[in-house]
Structure 1
Amino acid sequence: MQTGPDPTPRPLDHIVERAVAQGRGEAPALVLRDTVLNHDELRLRVDRLAGWLTREVPEKGARVATWAAKGELTCLMPLAAARAGLVHVPINPLLKRAQVAHILSDSGASMLIGTAARLASLESADMSAGCATLEETMALGMASEAGLAHSSSNADPDDLAAILYTSGSTGRPKGVMLSHANLWLGAVSVAHYLGMADEDVTLAVLPLSFDYGQNQLLSTWYAGGSVVPLDFLFPKDVAKACAKHPITTLAAVPPLWVQLTELEWSRDASSPLRRLTNSGGALTVDLVGDLRRIFPQADLFPMYGLTEAFRSTFLDPALVDSHPTSMGKAIPFAEILVVDENGEVAGPDEEGELVHCGPLVAQGYWQDPQRTAERFRRAPPASAYGGLAVWSGDRVKRSADGLLYFVGRLDAMIKSAGNRISPQEVEEAALASELVDEAVALGVPDARLGQAVHLVVRGTDDAGERAKLAPLLKAELPNFMQPQAIHWRDAMPLNPNGKIDRTALLRELTE
């Protein structure tokens, strides 16, 4: 009789012990540019980094931030910080000074470890009070030389382990608080429904500052497999890495899948793949067809998730061809309800809000009770778990056979190339230039990106001054936030309440 995954949460750092206990100590665990660590060596590096962190940041629960490309530091820190009783704050390496300064200030980080160039881009005013900075290579060297080991933690699974910053539809990035249990059970759940095994090799192409990206590490190591972290410049780099390392598991977002399907894949690159996973936006029917054609032997897992609850649903690969637009059903440890306007569970094919209940629900937003109360509310009476639930703001339907289908979003979030972008962040950057008086950022449907950022502004009518806006935004915003187009207006349309009519502007741009 087949049983489900173990629902018992454990301290997150115990993941590095699991493979060793199962006799996988000498098997590859992490493939870096200049070396390969087996699971025994991975555990030793985590021990030493945790011991050094304990000496440098002795306060339990203190926040330690990392701002670096994929490598030993960013791969080890989620476990080392947890082992040391600290809270890891991974910062997207694509972010620039303004966004990083907000994260450091908001989190109250005690230490920031990053690459030299990134640290040099910050000013003293950007750092939170008492925050020490250290270059990545120096930190790893000091941890190795110190030889201070730290044994497995005995943390309460409900203790805070990480704060992942994600954009909202309004305001600056907010920090989602994830416990040891959230991250542990997320790894267990994914490893289970993907059917991962100890011989699997995962190519980690997604940013490790995202829950989807970080789970590439955690679920693979839980299964006893190996991770190959990759920062790529061109899609062909992904295909080359798949051939070089016989990759079995590849996770991506729709825009990257589009680029990958435009390549000529060699048999050495495509044939080892056993599973493809997608989140961060829906796959189109045509894209599903292309993936099935290029990787006929690989199982395709369309998934839906949100950082506030990690992952909510997946579609069984056996149903992809017959139900290509479905979000599937709840993953292990998740309870997904479709709730109508009266707070009741919606009937078959009735539209409602997706509400996620259960142990994968995060602990709220760091130091933000107002926005926490808006998104994290008491579970509906029909919930088997009860407690707090994530009210997603997404409208969905559940068919009679139990499959979920996405209808639309309630908020104005822009989702471009798998990134969640706050319109207000783009607008604030435009207004700060002092070249515009009003600014509206919108997500316009785009075949490759899902949505492209378009910026509508009212301000100077001097052509020379207008030409300065795009370069200024390029300097202030990360690449994925850059407007695809800037539209200058002499006046903004207003709604009956006297506010800028965003719906009218979007209609103008899409008609």
Structure 2
Amino acid sequence: MFSLADLFDGVVTGSWLGSLENLTGEKLTAQCCGRALSLLQQTDIQLAHGDKIVIRAQNDFFTVATMLSAWHLGLVVVPIKGDAGQAAVESIAADCNAKAIVEGESIALLETYRPQQKLFELHTASRVTGVDLALIIYTSGSTGKPKGIMLTHQNVLTSLQSTSDYLRLDSEDRILCLSPLSFDYGLYQVLFALFKDCTTILYDKTFNPLHVLKVISEMKISVLPIVPAMGAALSKLLSLVKPDLSHLRAITNTGGHLPEYVIRAWKQYCPALNVFAMYGLTECKRALYLEPELWEQKMGSVGKPIPGLDVRIFLLDELQNTYHEAKANEVGELFVRGSGVMQAYYDPSAKGGAQIISGLYRDDNWLATGDLFSRDDEGFYYFKGRSKDLIKQAGFCLFPKDLEGVIDACPLVHLSAVLASSDRYQNEIAVCVLELHENTPEHQQQFKAWLKDNLDADYTPREVRFVEAIKLTANSKIDRQKLQQELEF
């Protein structure tokens, strides 16, 4: 497979052996792809190879067919959430200079589009290759302004191959896609069906744990991709609903740490279930994974590098302006190298946690993730938090993710977030924001007593705030930026 255009060809020629289904059992067809292709070939729009199109992505067949048709034509897909506000749509369209927007089965030119002079003018049809730009995925903005991440066809195909290998996907698997297709985690579940000839079920409703458990049972789901909030909500109902999960063999997770109590709840109900702890970011898709057989032995670890990527922990020598690899158990910044790594942010001035650090040659370019890690003597990696989230409280370095991992183990806790703030003397302190299963005064006191017994005083957040609900982003991640604004840190 040379590009994502081959996926379109597989559907329309009938050589694709997998299936993309919805909750009623309908399937993606060649006819649906034909309608989408006709839409993009409207003569008054005149889309050309390399043009960018914004797609209001729904978890439905026509969204998928539109993406496949766009790649067939050599266009660049910019997916956004179907219910995104108009201001957000206009901001993204202007940022990446998109030419048109697709909403359902209609297409329109964008007023913000500005023609760009091309260096090479062609008189014959362009050919889609692996180095062509395929996707611009915008980050969710949970830690800052959304940034456009540029991915080539080869970037995507590399990630599909590597991830499907370590997840052990085969043609018998049935994947439930709960996440929106504007989120790379959701989009890749669809692409797995096309890439591995397995089956993906599009969940097109608002997430409801009772209904999701019913779907898993009735549709014989074998692979369940979740984010921590989903995993926690579903696990609470397992012993009450007692769903038939006899076909479920694996759970995958993204968007943050999956608490130990959630893993144990799933494993208690399904002892043979494989739970894949993983680490990644949109800029490189996946970087690390822990083999499910080691989840208890290496609790808290996100494992080793995925197939095809080189992963290292580096420390910066500011005097020499060079990087040297950290020793075992040293904390440093995680760097990733390989063909799954993004090309760049579309806006060169975009500032984020991750950035490309160029070496002497093209094969010596590294993605500095902005995340802090350590590696044990056996080569297993442990996430310590974002470098910019490191909290220095009374001279001690507190890593929010480490603290959240401990706090989430408390049976009273549903969700937690550890954030930086200042005391009345303007000293930096850690604040723990908590959503309890039952937010009662009695449970609040019980949690404070539990925290005192389970955390060293020097590493205990100076303040605990209880809230009725911690707000999540559209991708079901904790919205740390909004949380800080609302609680006036």
> Could you say whether these structures have the same fold, taking a TM-score greater than 0.5 normalized by the shorter chain as the test?
yes
Matches within 5 A, 1:406-425: 406-411=383-388
**Aligned pair 1:284/2:273, yes or no?**
no
Asked if the contact 2:372/2:383 (under 8 Å) is kept, the reply is yes
Q: Secondary structure at the match of 2:161?
A: helix
| Structure 1 residues 195 and 171: alpha-carbon distance in aligned structure 2, compared to 1, 3 A threshold | closer
For the Cα contact (< 8 Å) 2:180–2:475, is it kept in 1? no
Displacement after TM superposition at 1:268 (Å): 5.7
SS in 1 for 2:301: coil
Q: 2:310 is matched with which residue?
A: 335
Mapped pair 1:219 → 2:206? no
| Alpha-carbon separation, structure 2, partners of 1:290 and 1:59 | 51
Would you say 1:315 and 2:290 are equivalent positions?
yes
Deviation of 1:368 after TM superposition, in Å, equals 2.4
**Structure 1 residues 446 and 113: alpha-carbon distance in aligned structure 2, compared to 1, 3 A threshold:** farther
Amino acid at match of 1:271: S
Specify the alignment match of 1:459 in structure 2.
Answer: none
2:232 corresponds, among 227, 239, 258, to 258
Partner of 1:112: 101
Q: Does 1:65 align with 2:54?
A: yes
Pick the aligned partner of 1:246 from 220, 232, 239. 220
> Following the alignment from structure 2 to structure 1, what is the Cα–Cα distance between the partners of residues 38 and 12?
20
Kindly indicate whether residue 319 of structure 2 is the aligned counterpart of residue 346 of structure 1: no
Aligned-partner residue type, residue 233 of structure 2: Q
Trace 1:428-507 onto structure 2 (pairs within 5 A).
Answer: 445-446=433-434, 483=482, 505=489
Equivalent in 156, 169, 190 of residue 129 of structure 2: 156
Contact (CA 8 Å) 2:22, 2:201: kept in 1 or not? yes
Deviations 1:341-381 (A, max 9, x none): 231111111111100100001011113245489711125x8
Q: In the alignment, is the contact (CA less than 8 A) between 1:315 and 1:328 conserved in 2? A: yes
Structure 2 counterpart of 1:367: 347
The CA distance in 2 between the partners of 1:364 and 1:310, in whole Å, is 14
1:128 aligns with 2:120: no
Name the structure 2 match of 1:83.
72
Cα offset, 1:403, TM superposition: 0.4
Match for 1:319: what amino acid? Answer: L
The equivalent of 1:29 in structure 2 is 19
| TM superposition shift of 1:483 | 4.8
CA contact (8 A) 2:286 2:306 kept: yes
**Structure number with higher helix proportion:** 1
Q: 2:214 is aligned with what amino acid?
A: K
Residue identity opposite 1:102 in structure 2:
S
The CA deviation at 1:96 is 2.0
Match of 2:462 in 1: none
Residue type of the alignment partner of 2:313: V
Aligned length: 400
Q: Measure, in 1, the Cα distance between the counterparts of 2:188 and 2:293.
A: 23
Aligned counterparts of 1:332 and 1:60: Cα–Cα separation in 2:
32
Q: Distance in 1 between matches of 2:353 and 2:127?
A: 31
- Structure 1 distance, partners of 2:329, 2:364, is 27
3-state SS, counterpart of residue 231 of structure 1? coil
TM-score of the two chains, using structure 1 as the length reference: 0.69
Q: Aligned equivalents of 1:398 and 1:186: distance in 2? A: 23
Letter in 2 for 1:405: Y
The superposition leaves residues 426-478 of structure 1 with CA deviations (integer Å, 9 ceiling, x where unpaired) of: xxxxxxxxxxxxxxxx99544689xxxxxxxxxxxxxxxxxxxxxxxx9xx99
Matching residue within 27, 46, 51 for 2:33: 46
Q: Does residue 1:209 correspond to 2:201, yes or no?
A: no
SS in structure 2 at match of 1:321: coil
Q: Which amino acid aligns with 2:355?
A: R
CA–CA distance in 2 between the matches of 1:444 and 1:97?
A: 34
Alpha-carbon distance, 1:78 to partner: 2.9
How do 1:384-403 residues align onto structure 2 when only pairs under 5 Å count?
Answer: 386-403=363-380
**What's the secondary structure of 2:69's corresponding residue?**
helix
Q: Does 1:10 align with 2:2?
A: yes
Q: Over the residues paired in the alignment, what is the CA RMSD in angstroms? A: 3.9
Q: 2:358 aligns with which of 374, 378, 387?
A: 378
Change beyond 3 A, Cα 1:204–1:106: same
Structure 1: which 5+ residue stretches go unaligned? 1-8, 132-151, 417-422, 424-441, 450-473, 490-504, 506-511
Q: Which letter does structure 1 place at the counterpart of 2:95?
A: D
**Alpha-carbon distance between aligned partners in 2 of 1:396 and 1:486, rounded to the nearest angstrom:** 27
The CA deviation at 1:14 is 1.7
1:196/1:220 contact within 8 Å kept: no
**Which whole-Å CA distance do the structure 1 matches of 2:103 and 2:431 have between them?**
32
Q: CA deviation at 1:76?
A: 2.5
Most deviating of 244-253 and 160-169: 160-169
Distance across 1 between alignment mates of 2:73 and 2:25: 25
Q: Equivalent residue of 1:65, what SS?
A: strand
Quick check: 51-60 or 391-400, which moved more? 51-60
Question: Is the 8 Å Cα contact of residues 355 and 389 (structure 1) preserved in structure 2?
Answer: yes
> After the TM superposition, which of the residue ranges 225-234 and 10-19 deviates more from structure 2?
10-19
What displacement does 1:28 show?
Answer: 5.4
Measured at CA, do residues 13 and 195 of structure 1 come closer, stay the same or move farther in structure 2, by a change above 3 Å?
same
Are the counterparts in 2 of residues 378 and 386 from structure 1 also a CA contact under 8 Å?
no
Matches of residues 223-238 of structure 1 in structure 2 within 5 Å?
A: 223-233=196-206, 234-238=208-212
TM-score scaled to structure 2, two decimals? 0.72
Counterpart-to-counterpart distance in 2, 1:356 and 1:66: 30
Deviation at 1:34? 5.4
Q: What residue in structure 2 maps to residue 95 of structure 1?
A: 84
Are the equivalent residues in 2 in contact too, given 1:64–1:87 (CA < 8 A)? Answer: yes
In the TM superposition, residue 65 of structure 1 has moved relative to its aligned partner by 1.1
One-letter amino acid matched to 1:389: W
Question: What is the match of residue 304 of structure 1?
Answer: 279
C-alpha separation in 2, matches of 1:214 and 1:17: 18
Does 49-58 or 88-97 show the bigger shift?
49-58
Q: Given the superposition, is the C-alpha separation of residues 349 and 89 from structure 1 closer, same or farther in structure 2, using an over 3 Å criterion?
A: same
How many Å apart are 1:232 and its aligned residue?
A: 3.3
Deviating more after overlay: 262-271 vs 246-255: 262-271
8 Å CA contact retained: 1:11, 1:153: no
State how far apart, in whole Å, the 2-side matches of 1:110 and 1:158 are: 21
Distance in 2 separating the partners of 1:367 and 1:483: 24
Structure 2 CA distance, aligned partners of 1:478 and 1:252? 10
